């Protein structure tokens, strides 16, 4: 156990373990993995940039080498494990590195079932990299649970879920998938990036591993690239710990320090993200300049009932189809003032992007069409700015873009 997580230190005779069984989310976000420094009493554990650590005797050490472990990384891993109601946390240099490491637990010849509406980077890894290493993937619409049963093969080992999916915000019933998968002896991995553990804890719903691009909501300030994984399965944890060290795709101590600072306000940020996103979604749904809106918090979402049952909130991501075509969408994205045209999501600032030509451009056109990633589909990452300002920004950009498109059609 690292000094940062020790329950005894010279500045307090005993500190009760900070776990999800004893404390609420906000308390965990602030205190888990963040005990005062045992040596100095510093309330915030210090940044430890050292690559190597003195051993008391040969093989007698707390930390050995920073690729294997580091005080800041172990603090962050303890925090994310507590928030996800798991017992083992792992931090990686990116969300993609997390995906790669988890899939490296599989042997050549294994088969994966993935939700079809998956993040473009995950689709790329499964299709281009994992396949070249002897791991095949079937992409399935998991909104219909019978599709999972039909896709299971003798060599299937893992089911990969995103819920909500990116960018069409479809939902997958985690409990239903886990029941079928476990009956067949399969592991279930859930990418929880879009909701964060504040709104959804997949391990509680039957998942075996939960992963995040911590670049997004967990860090929340668009200044760290990182991924995390959490599990309560000791055997899987042992494999992940070995691969984390062997592959070496680990984050820097500074990035861990930054991400843990971000975690301390996760509960506050997620509340405001969701409040703002609900208002934005309702505004868009009422607008004559919009064809359709996708947000789990709207009653018009086809899986709204599942959202209410599985999630504790609806998140900060909203997708909508602007009235017009890809050129209309492009105009909208160029004319917003507060919504910055950029990839990524989950920061305090609002972002907007065109998935068909940005995050999901790597998919074949027929695949995008099948998934509903049309040229006029815009994805918003709704930030925590004043909601009146955000709606005003959307309103002026919508009107300008759509009216110009209508004028061109009239000519």
**Active centre residues (catalytic):** 67, 119, 191, 216
Structure tokens at 252: 């820097």
Task: Examine the pLDDT at 12 and tell me if it is beyond 60.
Answer: no
Q: Is cis: bond before 181, omega within 30 of 0? A: no
Residue 406 has what pLDDT?
Answer: 74
Instruction: Give buried/exposed letters for 318-336 (b at 16+ CB in 10 A, else e).
Output: bbbbbbbeeebbbbbbebb
More confidently predicted of 6 and 282: 282
DSSP 119: -
What average pLDDT score do residues 112-120 get? Answer: 94
DSSP string, 180-204: HHHHTT-EEEEE-TTTHHHH--GGG
Residue 185 half-sphere exposure, CB side, CA atoms within 13 Å? Answer: 6
Of 2-6, 21-25, 389-393, 398-402, the one with minimum mean pLDDT is: 2-6
DSSP 35: P
List C-alpha distances in Å: 52 to 48, 64, 242, 244, 256. Answer: 10, 6, 19, 17, 17
pTM of this prediction exceeds 0.85 = yes
Share of the chain above pLDDT 90, in %: 89
| Helix/strand/coil for 87 | coil
Structure tokens at 60: 């007698």
Task: Examine the pLDDT at 268 and tell me if it is beyond 60.
Answer: yes
Residue 14 has what pLDDT?
Answer: 39
Distance from first CA to last CA of the chain, Å, rounded?
A: 72
Q: For the segment 134-143, what is each residue's pLDDT rounded down to a tens digit?
A: 999 999 999 8
What average pLDDT score do residues 203-209 get? Answer: 98
Of 10-14, 149-153, 336-340, 347-351, the one with minimum mean pLDDT is: 10-14
What integer best gives the mean pLDDT of the chain?
93
Query: What is the Cα–Cα distance from 213 to 381, expressed in whole angstroms?
Result: 15
Task: Examine the pLDDT at 16 and tell me if it is beyond 60.
Answer: no
Structure tokens at 78: 């303890």
Task: Examine the pLDDT at 11 and tell me if it is beyond 70.
Answer: no
Pairing of strands 377-381, 317-322: antiparallel
Task: Examine the pLDDT at 282 and tell me if it is beyond 90.
Answer: yes
Residue 410 has what pLDDT?
Answer: 65
- Can you say how many angstroms the Cα of residue 336 is from the centroid of all Cα atoms in its chain? 25
Pairing of strands 377-381, 111-115: unpaired
Q: For the segment 248-267, what is each residue's pLDDT rounded down to a tens digit?
A: 999 999 999 999 999 999 99
Q: For the segment 326-368, what is each residue's pLDDT rounded down to a tens digit?
A: 999 999 999 999 999 999 999 999 999 999 999 888 888 998 9
What average pLDDT score do residues 138-154 get? Answer: 96
Residue 17 has what pLDDT?
Answer: 59
Which distant-in-sequence residues (6+ apart) come within 8 Å of 252 by Cβ?
none
Query: What is the Cα–Cα distance from 331 to 258, expressed in whole angstroms?
Result: 35
> What strands lie across the sheet with 377-381, from one edge to the other?
290-294, 317-322, 377-381, 351-353, 340-341
Task: Examine the pLDDT at 20 and tell me if it is beyond 50.
Answer: yes
Measured at the CA of 176, the angle between CA 173 and CA 179, to 5 degrees, comes to 145
């Amino acid at each position: 156990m690292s000094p940062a997580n020790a329950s005894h230190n010279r500045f307090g005779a005993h500190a009760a373990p900070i776990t999800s069984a004893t404390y609420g989310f906000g308390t965990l976000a602030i205190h888990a993995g963040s005990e005062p420094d045992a040596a100095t009493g510093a309330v915030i554990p210090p940044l430890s940039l050292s690559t190597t650590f003195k051993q008391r005797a040969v093989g007698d050490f707390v930390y050995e080498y920073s690729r294997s472990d580091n005080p800041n990384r172990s603090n962050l891993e303890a925090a994310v494990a507590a928030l996800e109601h798991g017992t083992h946390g792992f931090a990686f240099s990116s969300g993609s590195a997390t995906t790669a490491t988890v899939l490296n637990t599989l042997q050549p010849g294994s088969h994966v079932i993935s939700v079809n509406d998956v993040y473009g980077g995950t689709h790329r890894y499964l299709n281009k990299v994992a396949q070249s290493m002897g791991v095949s993937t079937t992409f399935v619409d998991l909104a219909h649970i019978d599709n999972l049963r039909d896709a299971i093969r003798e060599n299937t080992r893992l089911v990969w879920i995103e819920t909500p999916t990116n960018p069409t915000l479809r939902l997958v019933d985690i409990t239903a998938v886990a029941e079928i998968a476990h009956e067949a002896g399969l592991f279930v991995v859930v990418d929880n990036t879009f909701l964060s553990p504040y709104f959804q804890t997949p391990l509680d719903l039957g998942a075996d591993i939960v992963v995040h691009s911590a670049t997004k909501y967990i860090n929340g300030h668009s200044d760290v690239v990182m991924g995390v994984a959490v599990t309560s399965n000791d055997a899987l944890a042992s494999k992940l710990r070995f691969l984390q060290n062997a592959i070496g795709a680990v984050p820097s101590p500074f990035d861990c320090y930054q991400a843990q600072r971000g975690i301390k306000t996760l509960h506050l940020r997620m509340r405001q993200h969701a409040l703002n996103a609900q208002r934005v979604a309702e505004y868009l749904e009422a607008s004559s300049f919009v064809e359709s809106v996708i947000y789990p918090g709207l009653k018009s979402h086809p899986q709204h009932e599942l959202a209410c049952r599985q999630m504790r909130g609806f998140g900060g991501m909203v997708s909508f189809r602007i009235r017009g075509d890809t050129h209309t969408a492009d105009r909208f994205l160029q004319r917003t003032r507060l919504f910055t045209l950029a990839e990524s999501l989950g920061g305090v600032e609002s972002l907007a992007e065109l998935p068909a030509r940005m995050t999901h451009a790597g998919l074949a056109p027929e695949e995008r069409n099948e998934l509903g990633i049309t040229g006029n589909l815009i994805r918003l990452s709704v930030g925590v700015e004043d909601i009146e300002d955000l709606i005003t920004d959307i309103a002026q950009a919508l009107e300008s873009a759509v009216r110009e498109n209508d004028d061109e059609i009239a000519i």
